[in-house]
Structure 1
Amino acid sequence: MNKKILTLMVGTMLATSVGYAAPLTDLAQGETNIGYNHYNLDQNGDRVKDDSFYLENALSNKFIAGIERNGYSSEYGDFHTTDIYVHYKLDPNIRLIVGDRSYSGESDKFFYGIGVNTNLAPRLDGYASVTTNDIATGWQAGLNYKMDGQTSLNLGYKSDKRDNYATKDGVGFGISHKF
């Protein structure tokens, strides 16, 4: 099973170019996850800071609903996106992603994608996801380290390519807490 998931992750990333969404976390029905991530991104030599906050809830064994706000800042100004999304678990490791992305100062866009996660070690999970809409495609991959049953640290890489803009990509870190 792990070889299938790894093949799907690599194939999806290569086939789609470049998502941003909260790191994939496994939630049981009724669990809620809150988190923060900070990314230092590069956009054609310009530094862009990305701070994101997210809140997710497992509505059932198959559906997770969430909201995420990414705040970008650079020397050229500030920009933000807000995602309202749903994950549908095809199986415990693969999920479909759909949602609405609100761009500051622009119209909302429907987005869709796929995400995968797998256990790599007793307290370490790996994940990857890709999302796209008619103006942007993005992907992310990373690791979640479970400090205990509720709190996890995240280390990840994400990349976002919007039409008529250079790719924003870079490494980040974060923390999340389930309750």
Structure 2
Amino acid sequence: MKKILLVLVIILAMSSVAMAAPVTNLEKGESAVGYLYWNPNVDAFGGDFGNASASGFYVETAVSDKVIIGLETIKGDKSKTISGIKAKVDTRFTDLTIQYKLDNNIRLIAGNRNYDTDFAAAGVGSYSNSSDKFFYGVSASTSLGDKATAYAAVTHSSIATEWQIGANQNLTKNLDLNINYRYYDQDDDLTLKGIGAGLIYKF
């Protein structure tokens, strides 16, 4: 039973490998597509599970002067052997979002996050789960000269709060490099934190 409980901890630790898209400045009619990577440290129930990998893509488009809609999908995975049991968890989440610009620097955020988790462990079996959570939040951004923008964002759902700070640096007219730090806290039992990076193409 102890072994099974330990494996279940891994499920909980990995079922929420999540990251929201960076804050991107878009005007009406503009769109952005981006690749994201995150390698957070996973801490569950006071235990350090090391680092996990998560990566994916997102797309956003400004449908008006005030409204931006977006779609993001991220996949994370983790393998670990505990008490002789080799377990692997694959998680994919998909966000549908809408952002409303209060002004050029402040936005309100709302959306739905779908979690899909597949788990398998030798001698224990397999498990799949899918769930949806509504989330909401706010972001703020400011220019750092002519070619860079800094931002901060926070989102909250019924199970978790996520903070993100970052910066977008123009590499070319249409291509940005994103560097960020994220902190994800789920019901005080799970935290994920670490630096992420991405590339954003605007058109």
* TM-score interval for Structure 1 and Structure 2 normalised by the shorter chain: 0.7 to 0.9
Q: Which residue of 2 aligns with 1:159?
A: 183
AA in 2 matched with 1:24? V
Under a length normalisation based on structure 2, what TM-score does the superposition of the two structures give? 0.76
> What residue number does 2:31 align with?
32
Deviations 1:124-158 (A, max 9, x none): 10011111110111011111001122110011011
Equivalent residue in structure 1 for 2:65, among 61, 66, 81 = 61
Q: What displacement does 1:20 show?
A: 3.4
Whole-angstrom distance in 2 between the partners of 1:79 and 1:20: 12
Paired positions, count: 161
* One-letter amino acid of the structure 1 residue matched with residue 97 of structure 2: Y
**Deviations for 1:99-131, whole angstroms, at most 9, x for unmatched residues?**
011111232111100011110121110011111
Deviations 1:2-29, CA, capped at 9 Å, x for gaps: xxxxxxxxxxxxxxxxx83111011010
- The structure number with the bigger radius of gyration is 2
In structure 1, distance between residues paired with 2:171 and 2:68: 22
Counterpart residue number, 2:7? none
Map residues 1-179 of structure 1 onto 2, 5 A cutoff: 20-44=19-43, 45=48, 46-75=50-79, 76-104=88-116, 105-163=129-187, 165-179=189-203
**Partners of 1:153 and 1:164 in 2: CA distance:** 32
Work out the CA distance in 1 between the residues paired with 2:187 and 2:92. Answer: 16
Structure 1 counterpart of 2:143, which letter?
N
Q: Does the Cα contact within 8 Å between 1:20 and 1:139 map onto a contact in 2?
A: no
CA-based RMSD of the aligned residues comes to 1.3
TM-score (norm 1): 0.86
Structure 2's unaligned 5+ residue stretches are 1-17, 80-87, 117-128
Task: Report which structure shows greater RCO (CA 8 Å, sep ≥6).
Answer: 1
| Paired-residue identity, % | 40
SS at match of 1:107: strand
Shift of 1:52: 2.5
SS at match of 1:91: coil
Deviation digits for residues 46-71 of structure 1 (CA, Å, limit 9, x no counterpart):
21111021000000010000011121
Q: Does structure 2 retain, via aligned residues, the 8 Å contact 1:20–1:131? A: no
| Alignment-mate amino acid for residue 29 of structure 1 | K
Unaligned runs of 5+ in 1: 1-18
Q: Which amino acid aligns with 2:94?
A: T
Moved more, 42-51 or 127-136: 42-51
